[in-house]
Amino acid sequence: MGEEVFFRNRNGHKLWGEFSGNPAPDGPLVVLAHGLAQQSEHPIITGLEQALNGEGIATVRFDFAGHGKSEGDFADTTLSGGVEDTVLVLRVLKEIGYQHLGFAGFSYGGAVGLRVAAQYPLKAAALVSAVPDYKEPIKRYVRFTQGSKAFANWQETGMGDYVVDPTVVERETRPLRFSFYTDAEQQVFTPEHAQQLQCPVHLIHGRRDPLVRAAQIEALQGKPRITLDVIPGADHSYSNGTRDQMMQSAVGFLMKYLKPS
C-alpha cells in the first residue's frame, strides 16, 4: 500500500490519489491517469506504477471526479473536466515541492494528457491509446455496445447509458450526459495543436484498436515533440499478448527524460 493523498477540484469534489515508489521532492514523479468509467486500479495503470517504481521512478495515480474513490457524478464527466482535474493535481504537486513531473495516461487519461501537455510544462508524457478526436470513437462505441439508434437517442434525451466493459456477459452501465460529446467537439487535438506542446510526448497505439483508429495517431507523425509507437496486432487495451511491449515503450520513454543515465 502507498500513501494516500487528496486533492480538491474547482467543483469542490475531493479527488483520491495514492503515492508509490518512495517519492521525494527532488526526484522524478509520474502522474498516472486512467480511462473513462475506469479507476486508477485498472491493470494498465497499476502495471505502469509497478514498472516505473521498479526503475526507481515514483508515481501518484489518482481517480478523476466521478470515478473510483473520488467524489463527483460520473454522468457529469467531460474531457475538459478531466484536463482541469489533472492540471489541478500537477499544480498542487508542484506547490508541495515536486519539480520533476511526468505523466502517463491510458485511453481517456491519454486524451486528457495530450491536452494537458499543451498547457502545462511537464518533463515528458507517455500516452497509451490516446484519443486526439473523441467524436467518431464515442459514436462508434455507443452504437457498437447499444445499437444503431443509441447515439441519436443519447443526443435527443441528453442522457445515455455508457457501457463500462462490453467484453463481460453481465454488462455494467453508467448514466452519462450528452455534454460529454458536445464538450469533446470543442476539444479536438489536431496536428496544428502539436505546436503548443510544452514537453516531449510519446504516443503508443494498437494497430488493431477497434475504438480509436491508428490513423488518428499517425496524423501526428513528424509533428514537433511527438514520437509514435504503433504496435502491430495490439488492440485498445493490449489484451492480446502485447501489453509488455506497450509497458516497455512507455517506461523506456519516461526514463529517458526523468531518469537519464
Cell numbers that stand for 2 in this block = 502507498
CATH label of the domain that carries residue 92: 3.40.50.1820
Supply 248's cell numbers.
516497455
Domain assignment present for 216: yes
Q: Does a structural domain hold residue 138?
A: no
| 149 found inside a domain | no
Between CA 208 and CA 15 the distance in angstroms is 33
Q: What does the pLDDT average to over 194-208?
A: 97
pLDDT tens for 148-189 read 999 999 999 999 999 998 877 688 999 999 999 999 999 999
CA distances, 136 to each of 79, 123, 170, 180 (Å): 15, 31, 26, 13
Rounded Cα distance between 220 and 228, Å, is 8
Calpha distance 187→197 (Å, rounded): 15
Counted domains in the chain = 1
Query: pLDDT tens-digit profile of 79-130?
Result: 999 999 999 999 999 999 999 999 999 999 999 999 999 999 999 999 999 9
Question: Is residue 114, in this structure, part of any structural domain at all?
Answer: yes
3-state SS assignment for residue 86: helix
Say if 215 falls within a structural domain. Answer: yes
pLDDT of 134 above 90: yes
Residue 259 — very low, low, confident or very high, per pLDDT cuts 50/70/90?
confident
Q: What pLDDT score does 261 carry?
A: 64
- pTM confidence score: 0.97
What mean pLDDT is predicted for residues 197-207? Answer: 97
In a domain, 165, yes or no: no
Which residues constitute the domain of residue 228? Answer: 3-133+187-258
Q: Is residue 242 part of a domain?
A: yes
Other Cβ atoms closer than 10 A to 167: 8
Residue 11, domain member (yes or no): yes
pLDDT for 9: 97
